[in-house]
Structure 1
Amino acid sequence: MEKFTVIAGPCVIENEEICIEVAEVIRGLQEEFPDIRFVFKSSFDKANRSSIHSFRGRGVDYGLKVLERIKKDYNLPVLTDIHETNQADTVAEVVDIIQIPAFLSRQTDLLLAAARTGKEINVKKGQFLAPWDTKNIVEKLKFGGAKKFYLTERGVSFGYNNLVVDFRSLPIMRQFAPVIYDATHSVQLPGGQGSSSGGQREFVYPLSKAAISVGVDGLFFETHPEPERALSDGPNQIPLKEFPSIIRKLIKLREFIIEESI
């Protein structure tokens, strides 16, 4: 990864207006910090929602139109997930980075389909995987012809409805690929509200500081103008108005650590 990367955006594409509002803030941060690579992220479909009644998204056609507009109008690279092999080529026509969801991180055909597009790939480490097991994911990507790919730490299952982050995983996975720390999904409480997931967003910032201190190549956040009204993952998303301040503090911390290590 050539530049330190910040991936951010609303969990799911609810509508174009929300995505545009978030993209404007991210674009402002990109202009403020030209040495950091900012990537807009949002999902056109959330295929693993807790309940059959949960909002999944607006679909691939609508989602890609929104992402294409953000890429063009705000000059931001864009990222979204795929869940099925037949989505890879269609999504690759628009996005810069294809993401593989955590629950699908070992799906060989999905990894190969993404790799063959020639796009950058971000793989969320499954909540069930040990960090050294991600070596096999990297081997699959390389076999498929992928050239640029990242591994993202997003916590590991610890009992029921809870995740923890073993920060030893960051240097272990960095042996295989650049590593991104997913700060907001790491504080998720999967299925913690019965028919939806809970979250503890108050821990996003301190855990992000820990990841910066240990050493990562990027950070991942979900942010929303009104998390309490978000249709997916509201409890762990950062209020958009707070996001720039958090980013500025983390970048300052990273700069301090780099200076101290020289």
Structure 2
Amino acid sequence: MYIGGHNMFTLIAGPCAMESEEICMQTATEIKRITDKLGIPYVYKTSFDKANRTSISSYRGLGMEEGLRILQKVKDEVGVKVTTDIHESWQAEPVAKVVDILQIPAFLCRQTDLLVAAAKTGKTVNVKKAQFLAPWDMKNVVGKLEDSGCKDIMVCERGTTFGYNNFVVDMTSLVEMKSFGYPVVFDATHSVQKPGGKGTSSDGNREFVEYLAKAAIAVGVDALFMEVHPDPDNAKCDGPNMVKLSDLEGLLTKLVDIYNAINK
């Protein structure tokens, strides 16, 4: 799929982990309504399994079989492209039969076998930059995908580890990764996460999402990634950094204004 160039930024958004078919359909339908109204291309995202949770007792999702069924339903009934993340090489082929974009989690962005398996599906591959990598180090990640035959690559900034339980975002990393020649995505919600900040789960600062997203649009990213939930305070995963669904239209309206001002 085509993202970037002189097109309006794309929104990749949905709940962190799948909690129910009802929540998935509700969020996809409402985000589609909002993005259609504002002229923003939209890709629905949610995870059938969150394999890197803080605690072994943390909620992970609905599993691959049920997750792919729901993603297919979202595609068919809401009429949007979909993406989800994979954690193991064997998942690439079955997941690629449903999704339009395969997402590689930040912790796994240097896993060669996972990258090669994703590349061989022929799908778009969106790789999140690890929290411990410099932006120029992602050139090697891109090289693994290119050498494995992948022609449709996206790279995603999600913040860099800064001390304990904290991330910072260096906006120049977006410019650095743009030099690779592929679309750059900014993950506005994981960038405000505080991993392990609650001891057995992550914390976050949802109130800062707007400001980082504004800065990223001004820098010129091709897509924004946001996790969105109808009731993030009671979500089963990443609630403290997710955007509340009812707040999304107001936020995106501001971001479109910034995009239009920059791209007159």
Q: Distance in 2 between matches of 1:118 and 1:47?
A: 24
Matched AA of 2:24: C
Identical amino acids, percent of aligned pairs? 55
1:60 is the counterpart of 2:64:
yes
For 1:50, the equivalent position in structure 2 comes to 54
Q: Contact conserved, 2:38 with 2:253, CA < 8 A, in 1?
A: no
Deviation at residue 149 of structure 1 after TM alignment: 1.1
Q: Distance in 2 between matches of 1:154 and 1:94?
A: 25
For 1:134, the equivalent position in structure 2 comes to 138
Deviation at residue 248 of structure 1 after TM alignment: 1.3
The ranges of structure 1 where at least 4 consecutive aligned residues each deviate by more than 3 angstroms after the TM superposition are none
Relative to structure 2, which stretch is displaced further, 124-133 or 23-32?
23-32
Deviation at residue 30 of structure 1 after TM alignment: 3.3
Deviation at residue 27 of structure 1 after TM alignment: 1.4
Q: Distance in 1 between matches of 2:248 and 2:144?
A: 35
For 2:175, the equivalent position in structure 1 comes to 171
For 2:208, the equivalent position in structure 1 comes to 203
Q: CA RMSD in A?
A: 0.8
Matched AA of 2:32: R
Question: What TM-score results when the alignment is normalised by the length of structure 1?
Answer: 0.97
- CA offsets, 1:193-250, max 9 Å, x none? 0000000000000111111111111101001000011000000001100011111110
Q: Contact conserved, 2:192 with 2:208, CA < 8 A, in 1?
A: yes
For 2:185, the equivalent position in structure 1 comes to 180
Matched AA of 1:151: V
Q: Distance in 1 between matches of 2:30 and 2:153?
A: 26
Q: Distance in 2 between matches of 1:143 and 1:208?
A: 32
Q: Distance in 1 between matches of 2:35 and 2:213?
A: 19
For 1:144, the equivalent position in structure 2 comes to 148
Question: What TM-score results when the alignment is normalised by the length of structure 2?
Answer: 0.96
Q: Distance in 1 between matches of 2:150 and 2:241?
A: 31
Which residue of the other structure, out of 107, 111, 125, is the alignment partner of 2:129? 125
Aligned residue pairs total: 258
For 2:79, the equivalent position in structure 1 comes to 75
Q: Distance in 1 between matches of 2:149 and 2:20?
A: 34
Deviation at residue 147 of structure 1 after TM alignment: 1.3
Deviation at residue 54 of structure 1 after TM alignment: 0.4
For 1:189, the equivalent position in structure 2 comes to 194
